Amino acid sequence: MATAPTLRHLDQVVPQLISPADTVRLALLAGPADGSPASVFYEVWEPGGAQPDNSHPDSTEIFVVLTGHGIAHSDEHSVPIGPGDVLVLPPGSVHRIENTSATERLYTVTIMAEDGGAMPGGFAALVSAGTPAQWDDTDRAALRGH
């Protein structure tokens, strides 16, 4: 018998802050608990927000920018990002993304290609253990595409 697909709606995923003072929220959409070697997230940067430098030794991280603008830093490289861009960060790179807007949020779909290679215990587990946050009307409109 075939396994049924997993379907989640925006209202069923809870954004998390990895640390309570973070300016970036992540919501796990799919990951190892769903039988996937990759983890997929909605990721939302507050205006002017950024995550700290981070690295994933054995995992490629991919960002699909939905709305907003930022700058991605990876090792000694920096590139601007905006809607429709796909950013691929190689395994082992030291990277971070900054939202360059003082007023608008930056939204991405983020894929950790090999979650188990991201860090001990996996990136999905780190996010899931974070501090729960909320979606607001701006988030819902952006993530629904209108």
pLDDT at 43: 97
Torsion of CA 107, 60, 39, 45, to 10 degrees: -20
Tens-digit pLDDT profile for residues 105-140: 999 999 999 887 666 778 999 999 999 999 999 999
Tens-digit pLDDT profile for residues 16-40: 999 999 999 999 999 998 888 999 9
- In 3D, which of 30, 50, 39, 16 has the Cα closest to residue 129? 16
Q: Model's pTM, two decimal places?
A: 0.93
Q: Would you call 28 exposed, middle or buried from its count of C-beta atoms within 10 A (0-12, 13-18, 19+)? A: buried
Which position has the token pair 């709305």? 67
Residue type, 105: R
Tens-digit pLDDT profile for residues 41-97: 999 999 999 999 999 989 999 999 999 999 999 999 999 999 999 999 999 999 999
